Amino acid sequence: MAATPSTPPPSPAPPAPPAPPAPSVAPAPRQVPPVAGHAPWEAPGDRGPRTFPAPPPPAPPVAVPVETPTVQVPLPDEPAGEEREPGPDLTVEVSVPRPRTGFVGSRPPTYEPEPTALPVARPGGLAELVADTVLDGARYGTCTLRAASVRGDSARYRGEPRRDALLTARFGHDETALVLVAVAAGARAAEDAHLAAADACHWIAEAVCRSHARLSEDIRSGRRGDLKSGLHRLTDRTYGKLRARAAERGLAPEEYTATLRCLLVPADPECRTRVFFGIGAGGLFRLRDGSWQDLEPLLPEPAAVTGAPVVGFGSPPPAPEASEEGDRLTMDLGITTAPPLVEDPVPPPAEPFRFRASVARPGDTLLLASPGLAEPMRGEPALARELAARWADAEPPGLAAFLADTQLRVTGYADDRTGVAVWEA
C-alpha cells in the first residue's frame, strides 16, 4: 500500500509593523475670565494689560496638637533569672489640669485678681524694692515644704509694696540640719513696713544660724524648756535691733516694727517635732483627718507679765529715816545720799512671746499663716473647706498649685497673704 505524502504546515504570517507615534498636542492654556470693569488704578478706556483676580487665600494652618504629659507605667517585677519578653509600650497619656484660682463666698471681691500698679521706685532705694510674689519649696526627711507670699489686692491696686516678708533657710548638713521658715508682717499704716518685716526675718535667721547646732539637738532630744527660753532670747534680741533701727531712722518704735512667726523643722527623718515661735498676730493650723485644728498658743493673762516695782540690781541699801530737818543723813558723816534705785514696773510687751512644740503624724498638714491669711481662714468657713478639699490628697501640691491655693480670694480680705505648709509623709 503506497504511502500518501503529508502536506507541510502553513508558515506563520509576518508581524505587523508598529504604528507610528501620535503627534504630541500641547495642552490648551487655562482660560481665566477677565474681571468685569476696571481696577481702581486703571484709567477709563485704557487698552493695556487687564487685571486678573488674585489667587484664593491660603488655607489656615492646622493647629499642632499640644503634647500632653505622659506617665511611665512600670511593668510588674519578674522573677529573678527570667528574661522579660518585649511587650507593648505602656506609656499612658494623662492630662494635667491647670491650677485653679478664683474666689470663695457669695460674690467676687471688688479688686482685680491680678497685679495692676507697681510700687514707686526712688534713686538710691532700688535695693529696697519688693517683688509682688515669692514662692519656695523643699523636701527633707518625711516632710514636704511649700511657702508663698503674695501682695494683697488692695496693695496691688494702690501701687504699694508687699508688707509681708518670707524667708526660708537651711542650716547644717545631713540629719543635724535645721530648716527655718520666718514670716513677718509690717504695720499697715507705716511707710517702711516692708523694710521692718524684711529686717525681722533676716535678724532672726542670723540668730538661729549661730545657734542651729544647739537648737537641733534640743529639738531631737525633746528639751522643750531649753528650746522655749533660748528662742525667747533670740526673738527679744531681734526686736531690740528693730527698736535701734527705728531710732536710727528717727521713728517711734511702733512705726518700725512687724509681727514675726517662725517654724523650725529638723531634717532628721526620725524626728517629727515641729517648733513654732514668734510674736504677733497670725495663725497656726493643722489639717488632720480632713478637719482643721487651730493650734494658736494661748496668750498669758496680763497679770502674768506685769508685777510690782522691784529694786534694781546693785541698788544701795535702804537709807535711814529722815532727820527733823528733812534730809536723809548718814550717821556721823552728815552727807546727803542719793535715794535707792527703784525700777518702774516692767511695761508689758505689745504682743507676748508665743511658743508651741508639737509632734506630727503621717498625713498631717501644718499651716503657718500671716494675718492676711489667718483672718479669712477663721472668718470665712468656705475658704477653710476649699483648702481642706484641695489638700486632702496624700501627694502635696506643686509650687504652682500651692500658689493658686493661697490666692483664693475672699470678699472683705484684701491684705497681703503669706502661707507656709508642711506635708507629712
Q: In the chain, helix, strand, coil percent, each to 5? A: 25, 20, 55
Is pLDDT at 133 greater than 70 in this prediction?
yes
Is pLDDT at 387 greater than 90 in this prediction?
yes
Please report which confidence band the pLDDT of residue 382 belongs to, taking 50, 70 and 90 as the band edges: very high
DSSP string, 109-144: -SS-SS---PPP--TT-GGG---SEEEEEEEETTEE
Is pLDDT at 236 greater than 70 in this prediction?
yes
Grid cell in block for residue 68: 500632653
CA atoms within 13 A on the CB side of 63: 3
424 contact partners, CB below 8 Å, separation of at least 6: 142, 143, 272, 360, 361, 362, 363, 364, 365, 366
128 contact partners, CB below 8 Å, separation of at least 6: 194, 195
DSSP-assigned letter for residue 176: G
Please say whether the beta carbons of 280 and 314 come within 8 A: no
- Of 280, 116, 95, which is closest to residue 184 (Cα–Cα)? 280
Q: Which helix (H) or strand (E) holds 384?
A: helix 381-390
- Of 166, 168, 170, which is closest to residue 130 (Cα–Cα)? 166
Mean pLDDT in residue range 21-31: 55
Please say whether the beta carbons of 423 and 360 come within 8 A: no
- Of 238, 259, 272, which is closest to residue 368 (Cα–Cα)? 259
CA-to-CA distance for 373 and 132, rounded, in angstroms? 16
Cβ atoms within 10 Å of 78's Cβ, excluding its own:
10
Q: State if pTM tops 0.85.
A: no
Task: Quickly tell me which residue has 502536506 as its cell.
Answer: 7
Please report which confidence band the pLDDT of residue 199 belongs to, taking 50, 70 and 90 as the band edges: very high
Q: Which helix (H) or strand (E) holds 217?
A: helix 212-221
Cβ atoms within 10 Å of 232's Cβ, excluding its own:
15
Higher-scoring residue by pLDDT: 349, 169: 169
Q: Which helix (H) or strand (E) holds 346?
A: none
State residue 45's pLDDT score. Answer: 57
Higher-scoring residue by pLDDT: 8, 292: 292
CA-to-CA distance for 409 and 126, rounded, in angstroms? 30
Task: Quickly tell me which residue has 548718814 as its cell.
Answer: 330
State residue 108's pLDDT score. Answer: 82
Is pLDDT at 256 greater than 80 in this prediction?
yes
State residue 181's pLDDT score. Answer: 98
289 contact partners, CB below 8 Å, separation of at least 6: 363
Interval 68-117: pLDDT, tens: 444 454 545 555 555 556 666 655 555 556 666 688 877 888 888 899 99
State residue 110's pLDDT score. Answer: 86
Interval 289-343: pLDDT, tens: 999 999 998 776 655 554 444 443 334 445 544 444 444 444 444 444 544 444 4
- Of 110, 118, 126, which is closest to residue 159 (Cα–Cα)? 118
Could you tell me the sign of the dihedral formed by the alpha carbons of 180, 183, 186, 191, in that order?
positive
Least trusted range by pLDDT, from 15-24, 322-331, 344-353:
322-331
Grid cell in block for residue 220: 531631737
Q: Is 182 helix (H, G, I), strand (E, B) or coil?
A: strand
Could you tell me the sign of the dihedral formed by the alpha carbons of 101, 102, 105, 109, in that order?
positive
Higher-scoring residue by pLDDT: 397, 331: 397
